Amino acid sequence: MKITGIETFTLRAPLEEPFAYSQWRYTHRETTLVEVRTSEGITGWGEAYSPSAPVAAAIDRFLAPLVIGRDPRDVEDLWQFLYARGLDYGPKGTLVAAISALDIAFWDIKARAAHVPLYRLLGGARTESIPCYATGFYFRESETLERRFAKEAEAYASEGFTAMKVKVGLGVDRDAELVELVRRTIGPGIGLMIDANHAYDPVTAVRLARRIERFDITWFEEPVSPLDPDGYLEVKARIAIPLAGGECEFTRFGFEPWFRRRALDYAQPDLCACGGITEGMKIAALASLHQVHVTPHAWGSAIGQAAALHFYAARPRHPGTLTAERKVIECDRSENPFRTEIAVSPVRLERGSWLLPDGPGLGVGIDRGALERFRATA
């Protein structure tokens, strides 16, 4: 089998209602998909979690020409080849996100060619579904955050989610009010995470954590800068809430110091950015050496969500007990037509859990009409 063609799809869609988190306000969703075609007619799909224009250029004009004619099933060798080619210029960031998109597509092809769901090639799954936490609670201007957060909390709980993640970063007092409101709305027994998207310095992160510790917070995500593992360690030493992070980190080389120094309790590599599935498995193996849980970040299209699900389903429980850890994977509930409208057979969500697809590869069929509709022309 040989790679005969690689095409990127830069997708862009306006949002019905803009929303914000601590770092940015969104009026559009944007992503980049890649389709890898082969001599045997099998096609694979991948996605990059990175700004579209540079990542599409990295694939189209730098990486794709290097792999035409290669066998896409040689995932390990292809990864090493592509990473080595870009190492001197882009050991992290857009170039690695571009490799991630290609790597996911190669794995999709490899599993399709083997006629098995991808999670089987990655080690197999002990379950048919994975419980999700709902990611939502973004900041909006159309109604008060009190009303909005209460409505979302009720909706996620009634949809069957057993955990949900609240955005913080509005200042300690405001954050504490809203976290308390969500906890009171859902009651005990439902997991509650918070995510600051690195809005705070260590002192402020500690102040916030201490204010809300009594609300049984599963984890505090990105409390401080992703460039500051010492800041994580400072926060971790002074609070009782576990820390999560890693959506801005890349490759095993980037994650290793975080694990070795015990700066994270939950590592959240994004498979569409961290180096793809090939590298995600290495990151997870390293994490297991250091007692760090891995639960992938997933904020992309139906392709990225499926990649995260297959990867996570095939990871062993950690620690290896019968009942201690319940797996929980991210399920973005913010408006994103690429998650809901580009797939003819998206991964199914039922009562707050993703059902593992049983079709070959990622198990996601693409609606080409929808792709063209969202394709950015500029």
Nearest approach, Cβ of residue 83 and Mg ion (Å): 25
Q: Considering the complex, state which of residue 100 and residue 197 has its C-beta at the smaller distance from Mg ion.
A: 197
Cβ atoms 104, 303 nearer than 8 A = yes
Nearest approach, Cβ of residue 197 and Mg ion (Å): 6
Q: Considering the complex, state which of residue 103 and residue 195 has its C-beta at the smaller distance from Mg ion.
A: 195
Nearest approach, Cβ of residue 92 and Mg ion (Å): 18
CB atoms closer than 10 angstroms to residue 201? 15
Nearest approach, Cβ of residue 198 and Mg ion (Å): 9
CB atoms closer than 10 angstroms to residue 233? 17
Whether residue 297 lies in the annotated active site: yes
Contact set for Mg ion, span 269-298 (CB under 5 A): none
Q: Considering the complex, state which of residue 168 and residue 277 has its C-beta at the smaller distance from Mg ion.
A: 168
Cβ atoms 289, 264 nearer than 8 A = no
What are the φ/ψ torsions at residue 297 (nearest 5 degrees)? -75, 140
Q: Which helix (H) or strand (E) holds 361?
A: none
Nearest approach, Cβ of residue 179 and Mg ion (Å): 16
DSSP-derived secondary structure letter, 110: H
Please tell me the distance from the alpha carbon of residue 295 to that of residue 290, in angstroms, as a whole number: 15
Site string for Mg ion, 211-230 (x = CB under 5 A): ----------x---------
Scanning the structure block, which residue is given the tokens 């290097």? 66
Q: Considering the complex, state which of residue 108 and residue 195 has its C-beta at the smaller distance from Mg ion.
A: 195
Cβ atoms 258, 267 nearer than 8 A = yes
Closest residue to Mg ion: CB criterion: 195
For residue 155, what are its two tokens? 């909706």
Q: 212: closest CA among 196, 228, 232, 231?
A: 196
**Beta strand residue intervals within 127-242, DSSP E:** 129-135, 163-167, 191-195, 220-221
Q: Considering the complex, state which of residue 72 and residue 191 has its C-beta at the smaller distance from Mg ion.
A: 191
Q: How many residues bind Mg ion (CB under 5 A)?
A: 2
Q: Considering the complex, state which of residue 278 and residue 295 has its C-beta at the smaller distance from Mg ion.
A: 295
For residue 216, what are its two tokens? 């049984």
CB atoms closer than 10 angstroms to residue 377? 5
Which of 71, 108, 175, 195 forms a contact with Mg ion (CB under 5 A)? 195
List 198, 293, 297, 310, catalytic entry = 297
Give the Å distances, CA to CA, from 238 to 172, 206, 226: 16, 7, 18
Nearest approach, Cβ of residue 255 and Mg ion (Å): 16
CB atoms closer than 10 angstroms to residue 51? 14
CB atoms closer than 10 angstroms to residue 156? 27
Based on the shown chain and the rule CB under 5 A, indicate whether residue 175 belongs to the binding site for Mg ion: no
> Which residues are tagged catalytic?
297
Residues that bind Mg ion (CB under 5 A): 195, 221
